[in-house]
Chains A and B, each alone.
Chain A
């Protein structure tokens, strides 16, 4: 039973560039949440996708956008990268509208230089 898969594992980008991160949820899960975890901080909620729509959003600018595909996989896009966007980006999957028992992927470590 596959867990949550994220790609790539590491990424280095230059300020101003755009990046796309990918997430495949755990088998049987249909909801994907994205979190940003800066060094030494707790995960910060970016947004959540369910039924291919953004259902909830945290306090992140419009530079952060996402998408969910019919197979429940998801992408996180960040435009006009800033140095402060450097962080571990975590994807978590769950089932339906439940807030219970998220399964996290290993994350994508993004470094903006």
Chain B
């Protein structure tokens, strides 16, 4: 079945350093979504990518969708303590009609 894998599982950075998490799907996706979950909270929608090779930016966050629509990345420039949380990618497949989440990358930022 459709699987979405995310690496790394954990990342500890010093405040001001950059951070990247990678997402890979076993099947071609119709779209990829990114969510952030703070400790004790629920996933909050960040962004959606639909087109092959698409790049979107939200302030210090840069999201990319691979050319083959099977992988994606989230890059945070100059991390801040407010960036702490778990970042999930979720791949949507028009074939299965399901949105499948990766395992998440938990980011810790040392001030």
Which of chain B's residues 66-111 have a Cβ closer than 8 Å to chain A?
Answer: 88, 90, 92-94, 96-104
Q: Are A90 and B96 in contact (CB under 8 A)?
A: no
Q: Are A44 and B48 in contact (CB under 8 A)?
A: no
Interface residues of A: mostly helix, strand, loop or mixed? loop
CA distance A58 to B98 in the complex (A): 9
Q: Are B94 and A99 in contact (CB under 8 A)?
A: yes
Q: Are B101 and A42 in contact (CB under 8 A)?
A: yes
State the A residues within 8 Å of B (CB).
Answer: 33, 35, 41-45, 48, 55-56, 58-59, 88, 90, 97, 99-107
Given contacts A42-B102, A90-B43, A100-B31, contact A55 B97 (CB under 8 A): yes
Instruction: Fill in one digit per residue for B33-49: 1 if any A CB lies within 8 Å of its CB, else 0.
Output: 10100000111110010
Given contacts A43-B43, A107-B42, contact A102 B100 (CB under 8 A): no
Which residues does chain B contribute within 8 Å of A106, judged by CB atoms? 41-42
Instruction: Using CB atoms, name the residue of chain B closest to A50.
Output: B97
Q: Are B97 and A90 in contact (CB under 8 A)?
A: no
Q: Are A99 and B99 in contact (CB under 8 A)?
A: yes
Which residues does chain A contribute within 8 Å of B97, judged by CB atoms? 48, 55-56, 97, 99
